[in-house]
Amino acid sequence: MRSYRRQHIDRGGRNNGSFWLSFSDLMSSLLLIIILIMFYIMYQYFDMYEINRAEIARRQFELEDATKALEEQQAKLTEAEEKMIAQQIRLNAAEDELKSAEDVLADQKQQLADAQTQLSDKEAEIASQQEKLDALSAQLGIQQTQLTEAQTELEQQRTQLVSQQALLDDQQSQLEQLVGMRARIIETISTALHDANIPATVDPNNGSIVLESDVLFPTGDSTLSATGLNYIDQVLPVYLKVLLSDEYLPYVSEIIIEGHTDTSGGFMRNLQLSQQRAYAVAEHVLTRGFGYPTISGRMMDSLRPLVTVNGRSYSDPVLNEDGSVNMDASRRVVFKFRLTDEQMINQLKNILESGSTAKPTDAPSAEPTVEPDATLAP
């Protein structure tokens, strides 16, 4: 009301000093208010400053902790990155190894497939072999039974073998005697001729003796000369006496008279001449033989079925060392004998089967044999 009054007085032009006093009070009050506000604001500022400083300190501490944590995390991150790089390197190496392993695995799978194929083939083959084995096992069982039976039989044969061994030892000497029959005949003939002082050579291989044609016949003729007849009468009785003896006659199957010529002239002419000469010798022996004092009538009867006459022409000439024909030696009449091989074989068989020496059988009786090409007129 006071202030209103002052303003009212002032409007009438009266009393201006009171108006300024009221204004100063108002300004003082306003200044006081402003100062109070400023104090309040400053208080609030300092209070907020302290609060902010504490918050800043707290935030600074938290920031330092966060910085330390960040540094630790950064170190861990760096270490993790290094580990990750190392892991990446190992991973790359592992991938390479894995790729190599996959390649090897692929090869091994292919090998396994091939092996499985081979295994299937082998299994089929084994199955086939098993079938064969089963069949063989069955056969083996049969053979085992047979073997048992054979063993039983073998024991029986062993018993018989022991009893036969002594018999075989005795037979051995008999076999050796039969095998050497030809050698013994040849040796006996040679000894007989030597003892009779007869100049005749006996072939040690076959027991043949050679009568030279130049001694027996004139050149180109088949008529025996006196010298030839004398030579035959000396040689052949000794030769025949051995062959016709009781010891050797059972083993003699044939006595052969062969005529041979040289190579001069044609083959047929020489064939005829060789046959005629062999025939002439045979005829003389068979007719004159009964007059030989050393040849008995029984020997002559045994001689006739054994004589064979052959003419060979010049198919078997005598050769010189240089391969040329020895003309003189090729002209000859040969006496030789053949043993009864079949009879000897049968005798050996009888010895082996019966264990006894088979007695030689008498020589078969037959007429004298002359080959068709050797039958000529005397």
Q: Which of 97-111, 232-246, 332-346 has the highest mean pLDDT?
A: 232-246
Confidence (pTM): 0.47
Using pLDDT thresholds of 50, 70 and 90, give the confidence band for residue 376: very low
Concatenated DSSP letters for 79-104? HHHHHHHHHHHHHHHHHHHHHHHHHH
pLDDT at residue 84, rounded to an integer: 85
pLDDT higher than 50, residue 9 = no
pLDDT at residue 312, rounded to an integer: 94
Strand, coil or helix: what is 106?
Answer: helix
Task: Give me the CATH topology for the region 180-374.
Answer: 60s Ribosomal Protein L30; Chain: A; (3.30.1330)
pLDDT at residue 199, rounded to an integer: 83
Task: Please enumerate in sequence order all residues whose Cβ is within 8 A of that of 102, keeping only pairs 6 or more positions apart, or say none.
Answer: none
Give, in order, the Cα–Cα distances in Å from 232 to each of 163, 212, 251, 286, 313: 54, 11, 24, 12, 21
Greater confidence (10 vs 261) lies with 261
pLDDT higher than 80, residue 227 = yes
Instruction: Dig out the tokens for 332 from the structure.
Output: 């000859």
pLDDT tens for each residue of 290-334: 567 888 888 888 899 999 999 999 999 999 999 999 998 999 999
CA angle 9, 11, 16 (to 5 degrees): 60
Domain segments of the chain: what residues?
1-163, 180-374
